[in-house]
């Protein structure tokens, strides 16, 4: 049995690792991006000089041979499900018994004039990092389009080199389509403190040529012209499925898969950013382009491939990020606008750098979600509360059990203060 995996990111690699743990099947991992699996979450640290590129590789280079996972470097151009063959860019043919598509995402490109100029790119791949490094020579100003997680990473990268940064944010607050208003304002304040020029409710209209084929400035929807030498595209990502055109594998935005992560063609599967679930779990998205879900999908699929059919269940939602110096954690449901059944308790520190939000059901008081900025909570404890539908009064009583900040940081309860909820009334910010 030969299983071929296209893509050596966290999803493909986790699938490969677990297939090896569970079986003796032959496993080949193909990548056009790099020779070895690396953590793209760490790309920003390479640019800033905190780490070298090789430090981002989660496993020592001998790991693959030791575990008999074959590595193949090259771009897959065509998938032939009938003959079970892949055609590589250099003409090589690779045969498979089962195929796993783990090709990840590509940054979304806005359809505006000038987007094809030099100096315009996203931040996803190792090649994007190299591009940013090259384009930073002599760079004075950068404009980043899109106020989200990658946008803030790019901003921190440029900031570390003293390059002026402007971010065009479509929403009225930073990451406003995910963060509730208070948290969005907290993050916005912090970014401004770092010297970032934030433009809310502003979109990109066009990119101007500087005369030599490189971006020289942008025109915004507010009618402004901002001069710059680099335009970062961070409005989101979309599945990388171009190579599957004409293959017969059903795709929409991404590769359509069932609950077992199998495509319409038996023996072909998809995991990670590129996969689109036909029937996502209640409350979850069909496409979830994250490190954590990719890892979970890879693990689930490995079991299915090794004879233990496993339905992919993402569990309770969790995510994390960092906005310059402010860490972010979320567990469960935290809608950006709280209405209907959602009520919440929100507390912010005096210095405006930390916040805790407990989201609960207005009627039953069952905990639904936790949103954290600058505060670390224990994932196991938070998930237990949410899974067991613990009432928020009980959560408050046990809240110190969730604290995960370093020793001597002070009690969570001291930060939250006494709060006694009353039925029908909520502390909603």
Find the angle CA(92)-CA(98)-CA(101) to the nearest 5 degrees.
75
Strand order in the sheet with 26-31: 69-73, 26-31, 2-6, 98-101, 268-270
Residue range at the interface with another protein (CB under 8 A); choices 155-163, 267-275, 362-370, 412-420? 155-163
Q: Taking CB under 8 A as the rule, which mask of x and - marks residues 32-71 in contact with another protein?
A: --xxx--x-xx--xxxxxxxxxxxxxx-x-----------
The interface with another protein within residues 237-256 (CB under 8 A) comprises: none
- At closest approach, how far in Å is the CB of 374 from another protein? 10
CA distance 201 to 221: 9
* Smallest distance, another protein to C-beta of residue 428, A: 27
x/- mask, another protein, residues 68-107, rule CB under 8 A, reads: ----------------------------------------
User: Largest alpha-carbon pair distance within the chain?
Assistant: 69
Site for another protein in 329-348 (CB under 8 A): 329
Identified binder of another protein from the candidate list 291, 336, 393, 427, rule CB under 8 A? 291
Q: How far is the CB of 4 from another protein (least distance, A)?
A: 15
- Is residue 195 exposed (0-12), middle (13-18) or buried (19+ Cβ within 10 Å)? exposed
Supply the minimum distance, in Å, between the C-beta of residue 408 and another protein.
Answer: 4
How many CB atoms are located within 10 Å of the residue 309 CB?
A: 12
Q: For the CB of residue 13, give the shortest distance to another protein in the complex, in Å.
A: 10
- Provide the minimum distance between the beta carbon of 274 and another protein in the complex, in angstroms, as a whole number: 19
Instruction: Please name the helix (run of DSSP H) or strand (run of DSSP E) that holds residue 135, with its range, or none.
Output: helix 126-135
Site for another protein in 408-427 (CB under 8 A): 408-409
* Euclidean distance between CA atoms 25 and 4, whole angstroms: 10
341 half-sphere exposure, CB direction, 13 A CA radius: 11
Stretch of 98-106, 128-136, 220-228, 358-366 contacting another protein, by CB under 8 A:
128-136
Span interacting with another protein, options 175-183, 269-277, 307-315, 388-396, rule CB under 8 A: 307-315
- Count CA within 13 A, CB hemisphere, residue 147: 28
Asked whether 274 and 255 are in contact (CB, 8 A), the reply is: yes
| Contact yes or no for 17/113 (Cβ under 8 A) | no
Helix (H/G/I), strand (E/B), else coil: 314: coil
Q: Under the rule (CB under 8 A), what is the footprint of another protein?
A: 1, 10, 22-26, 34-36, 39, 41-42, 45-58, 60, 126-127, 129-130, 133-134, 160-162, 193-194, 291-292, 295-296, 299-300, 303, 306-308, 310, 315, 318, 320-322, 324-325, 327, 329, 376, 378-380, 383, 404-409
């Amino acid at each position: 049995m030969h299983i071929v995996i296209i893509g050596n990111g966290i999803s493909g690699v986790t699938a490969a690792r677990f297939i090896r743990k569970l079986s003796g099947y032959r496993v080949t991992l193909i990548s056009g991006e790099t020779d070895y699996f690396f953590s793209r979450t760490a790309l920003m640290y390479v640019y800033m000089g905190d780490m070298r590129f090789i430090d981002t590789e989660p496993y020592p280079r001998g790991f693959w041979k030791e575990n008999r996972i074959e590595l193949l470097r090259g771009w897959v151009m065509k998938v032939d499900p009938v003959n079970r063959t892949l055609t590589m860019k250099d003409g090589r043919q690779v045969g498979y018994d089962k195929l796993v598509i783990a090709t990840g995402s590509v940054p979304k490109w806005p359809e505006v004039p000038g987007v094809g100029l030099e100096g315009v790119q996203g931040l996803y791949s190792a090649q994007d990092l190299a591009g940013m490094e090259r384009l930073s020579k002599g760079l004075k100003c950068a404009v980043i389009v899109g106020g989200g997680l990658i946008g803030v990473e790019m901003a921190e990268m440029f900031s570390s080199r003293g390059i002026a940064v402007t971010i065009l944010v479509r929403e009225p607050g930073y990451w406003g389509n995910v963060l509730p208003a208070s948290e969005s304002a907290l993050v916005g304040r912090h970014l401004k403190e770092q010297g970032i020029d934030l433009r809310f409710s502003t979109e990109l209209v066009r990119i101007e040529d500087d005369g030599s084929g490189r971006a020289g400035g942008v025109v915004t929807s507010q009618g402004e012209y901002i001069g710059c030498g680099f335009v970062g595209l961070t409005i989101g990502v979309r599945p990388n499925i171009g190579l599957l055109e004409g293959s017969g594998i059903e795709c929409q935005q991404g590769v359509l898969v069932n609950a077992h992560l199998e495509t319409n063609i038996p023996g072909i599967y998809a995991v990670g950013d590129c996969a689109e679930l036909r029937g996502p779990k209640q409350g979850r998205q069909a496409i979830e382009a994250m490190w954590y879900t990719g890892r979970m999908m890879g693990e689930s699929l490995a079991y299915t491939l090794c004879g233990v059919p496993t339905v992919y269940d993402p569990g309770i939602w969790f995510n994390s990020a960092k906005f310059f110096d402010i860490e972010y954690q979320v567990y469960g449901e935290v809608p950006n606008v709280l209405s209907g059944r959602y009520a919440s308790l929100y507390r912010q520190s005096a210095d405006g750098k930390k916040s805790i939000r407990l989201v609960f059901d207005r009627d039953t008081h069952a905990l639904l979600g936790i949103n954290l900025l600058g505060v670390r909570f224990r994932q196991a404890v938070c998930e237990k509360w949410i899974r067991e539908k613990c009432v928020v009064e009980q959560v408050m009583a046990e809240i110190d059990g969730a604290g995960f900040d370093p020793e001597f940081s002070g009690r969570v309860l001291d930060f939250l203060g006494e709060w006694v909820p009353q039925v029908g009334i909520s502390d909603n910010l």
